Amino acid sequence: MEQNSLPTEIVLTHPRQCLGTIQLDWTPQPGNYLDIEGKTYAVLERRHRYHLKSGRYRLHKVAIYVQAAQRPSEKSLIEGRWVIGDASCRFNARSEIIRCAVNPPGPCESCHYYEKCEG
């Protein structure tokens, strides 16, 4: 079995329930978005599941914990990774999951809390 075609268990965090198991051809990281049956989910956490076989632990499947979300319309590229919102703002969290402390739902455009970052 190839590593990039491992079964991936999708677990909804609230209310806690398993949405099923699918085969993915990419490795979901926290902050990525995933579309399943017409709904969009944000990946919050990834866990590996191992089985002991012939005296060795082998990666058996991956479990990702998700929550329902909308794909952000505003993104900024910082040091090779995409973050939500306008990263030039002082309050931006520079996170793939949270936009900022003062205006988490956004949008950044025309936000009255905007302050340009120093440096």
pLDDT in tens, 39-85: 999 999 999 999 999 999 999 999 999 999 888 778 888 888 888 88
Predicted pLDDT at 96: 80
- Long-range contacts at 40-45 (CB < 8 A, ≥ 24 apart): 40/68, 40/69, 40/70, 40/71, 41/10, 41/12, 41/66, 41/67, 41/68, 41/69, 42/66, 42/67, 42/68, 42/69, 42/97, 44/13, 44/97
pLDDT in tens, 43-53: 999 999 999 99
Predicted pLDDT at 1: 44
On average, the pLDDT of the chain sits at: 87
